[in-house]
Amino acid sequence: MLNVVIIVVALVLAAYLAFSKRLAASSSWKATVTPLASIMGSGFLVSAPLLAGVVGVSAVFFMGLLLLLAFGVGSAIRFNIRHFEPIENEGHGAAQDVALVSRIVLAGAYFISVTYYLQLLAAFLLNFVDMHSEFWAHVITSTLLLLIGGIGIWRGLDELESVEKFAVSLNLGMICALLVGLSVYNINLLTSGNWALPDVSNQIDLKDVRILLGLLIVVQGFETSRYLGDQHPADQRIATMRTAQFLSAVIYILFIGLATVLFQRGFGADVTAIIEMTKPVAAVLPLLLSVAAIGSQFSAAVADNSGAGGLIEEITHRRLPIRYAYLLILLVTLALTWETDVNGIIAYASRAFALFYMLQCIVAFLVAWQLKTLPHRASRLLLFGSLAFICLLVFAFGQPSE
- Around 260, how many Cα atoms within 13 Å sit in the side-chain half-sphere? 22
DSSP per position, 45-85: HHHHHHHHHHHGGGHHHHHHHHHHHHHHHHHHHHHHHHHTG
pLDDT at 89: 82
Instruction: Give the pLDDT confidence of 63-114 residue by residue, as tens digits.
Output: 999 999 999 999 999 999 999 999 888 778 899 999 999 999 999 999 999 9
Please choose, from the candidates 400, 133, 170, 147, the residue with its C-alpha nearest in 3D space to the C-alpha of residue 290.
170
pLDDT at 402: 58
CB atoms within 10 A of CB 81: 21
Q: Which residues of 100-134 are buried (b: 16+ CB within 10 A; e: fewer)?
A: eebbebbbbbbbbbbbbbbbbbbbbbbbbeeeeee
Between CA 341 and CA 132 the distance in angstroms is 12
Helices and strands counted in the chain (H then E): 16, 0
212 touches 32 (CB < 8 A):
no
pLDDT at 221: 86
* CA dihedral sign of residues 143, 146, 151, 156: positive
Between CA 306 and CA 218 the distance in angstroms is 21
Between CA 294 and CA 19 the distance in angstroms is 21
Task: Report the length, in residues, of the chain.
Answer: 402
Q: Which residues, at least 6 apart from 262, have a Cβ–Cβ distance to it below 8 Å?
A: 198, 277, 278, 280, 281
Instruction: Write the burial class of residue 373 (CB in 10 Å: 0-12 exposed, 13-18 middle, 19+ buried).
Output: exposed
Between CA 191 and CA 78 the distance in angstroms is 45
| Tens-level pLDDT at each residue, the chain (402 residues) | 889 999 999 999 999 998 999 988 899 998 898 888 888 877 888 888 888 888 888 999 999 999 999 999 999 999 999 999 998 887 788 999 999 999 999 999 999 999 999 999 999 999 988 888 899 999 999 999 999 999 888 888 777 767 777 888 888 999 999 999 999 999 999 999 988 888 876 677 788 888 888 888 888 888 888 888 778 899 999 999 999 999 999 999 999 999 999 987 766 667 888 898 899 999 999 998 998 888 888 888 888 888 888 888 888 888 888 889 999 999 999 999 999 988 888 888 889 999 999 999 999 999 999 998 899 999 999 999 999 999 999 999 988 765
pLDDT at 201: 66
Between CA 293 and CA 295 the distance in angstroms is 6
pLDDT at 269: 65
pTM comes to 0.92
Element (H, E) at 282: none
88 touches 304 (CB < 8 A):
no
pLDDT at 366: 96
